[in-house]
Chain A
Amino acid sequence: MDVCVQGRVLSEPDDHSEIEWHRSDTAEWRLSPQPSLRSWYKKRFLSLTLVSQTSEETLLETFESLRTSWHRERGVTSSLTRIVNTPSYLKIIRQGKRFLPLIIQDLQERRDPDHWFEALRQITHSDPVDPKVYGNYRKMAKAWVKWYQSQPHDHAAR
C-alpha cells in the first residue's frame, strides 16, 4: 500500500517482511509498535510518523497531485488500455475507497467525464454500468454517481 505524507505519496517498501502496519482507532495507519521495526523505520524515513490520512485537505492535495501526474503520464495516447495502466492511475486505485468521493465528484463536475471507470470498478468491485452504454461516458458517469448515492455513507466515504 502507498502511504500519504503531507500530500506526497510514498511507495510501499519492497521488502514486505520487515514492516508491519496496523490501523489505530483514529483511522491512522502507523508502524507496528514493535521496537525493532520502529527502529528500522526511523532509520529509513527520518523519524517521520506516517499517517495515511490526516485531513480532507491532504487527501484532496494528494488526489490532485496524482491526477495531474496521471494526465501527464498518459500524454496524447488514444489507447484506453495505456491510459488506465499508468503508474499514477494504479496508485490511485491502490488508495482504495479513500478517493472514491473525489472521483465521483470529478465525474459530476466535468463536462466530459475522465477515464475513471476502470479505477471505480477495481476500487469498489462493482460495475453499475449497463454494457449497452459502454463507451458513452456521460451515461456511464451518471450510472456511477447514482450507484454512489445509493450506497450507505460510511461505505462510500472510506
Chain B
Amino acid sequence: MRQGSWPRSAFPNLTYGDNQNHRVTSSWTTRYNCIAWAADEIAAPWWPTRYAYWPPGIPMMATSGAFILAFATKGYVQCTDGSLQPRLEKVAIYVDSNDVPQHAARQLRNGKWTSKLGDYEDITHHDLLDVADGPPPDGYGRPKYYLQRRRRFRNTVRRWILWLRIEVWERRP
C-alpha cells in the first residue's frame, strides 16, 4: 500500500503496514491545505493571512468563529456531530487547547474522512481521531466543531472540473 511522506511521529493514531487505517490518495503538494481541501477547493490554500485565500468579508483571524464563517461561504452550517447522514456532507474542524483551528477533515459518502496533511498528501481515514492528538506544536488537536451542507452531485462534478483545470489546463506548456 502506498505510504505517505509525513513524519510518522506527527500522527500517533495512524497505523501502518497490515493494520493500516488510512489510504494515501494524492501526491504531496503546497497548492492547497487542509482547510481548502475540506472546503472542496484545491486551487489555493485557505488561511487568514496574506498570500493565502480567505473568503472576502470574513475576519482575518485564526479563530474557530472565523473558520466557521469561512465554511459558511460554501454553504456549511454548524451541526452537532460527525455522524454519517446520507444526504449531508460534513466537515470537522480540529482545534488545539486554545480553541485555535489546526485542521479540518471532510466526510465522504461512505462515512470515512478525507484530510490533507499539511503540505503532505491527502489521505482517507476511518475515524476523525486517526489524525488527532499529534504532539504540539504541530498537532491537530481534536475535532470540536462540526458543519454540514447538503451533499450535491454538482459539487462532485465541480471538484473534477477544478482538478482538470489545474492539472491539465494550467500545466500546458
- Please report A residues at the B interface, Cβ cutoff 8 Å: 74-82, 112-115, 117-118, 129, 134-138, 140
Interface size range of chain B in the complex? 20 to 34
CB distance A135 to B118 under 8 Å? no
- Please report B residues at the A interface, Cβ cutoff 8 Å: 6-7, 10-11, 29-31, 33-35, 43-47, 49-53, 62, 102-103, 116-120, 134, 137-138, 140, 170
CB distance A112 to B29 under 8 Å? yes
Closest to B34 in A: A78
The residues of B that contact A113 with a CB separation of less than 8 Å are 30
Q: Contacts A135-B52, A136-B44 given: A78-B33 contact, CB under 8 Å?
A: yes
The residues of A that contact B46 with a CB separation of less than 8 Å are 135
Measured in the bound complex, the distance between the Cα atoms of B42 and A112 in whole Å is: 12
**Contacts A78-B102, A135-B45 given; 17 further ones with Cβ under 8 A?**
A75-B118, A75-B137, A75-B138, A76-B6, A76-B11, A76-B118, A77-B118, A78-B103, A80-B51, A81-B47, A82-B137, A118-B50, A135-B46, A135-B52, A135-B53, A137-B30, A138-B31
Measured in the bound complex, the distance between the Cα atoms of B72 and A80 in whole Å is: 21
Q: Contacts A112-B31, A114-B30, A134-B52 given: A76-B134 contact, CB under 8 Å?
A: yes
Measured in the bound complex, the distance between the Cα atoms of B44 and A113 in whole Å is: 12
25 chain-A/chain-B pairs, Cβ below 8 angstroms: A76-B119, A76-B138, A76-B140, A77-B102, A77-B118, A77-B137, A77-B138, A78-B35, A78-B45, A78-B47, A78-B102, A78-B116, A80-B45, A80-B52, A81-B62, A82-B137, A113-B30, A115-B30, A134-B51, A134-B52, A134-B53, A135-B46, A135-B52, A135-B53, A137-B31
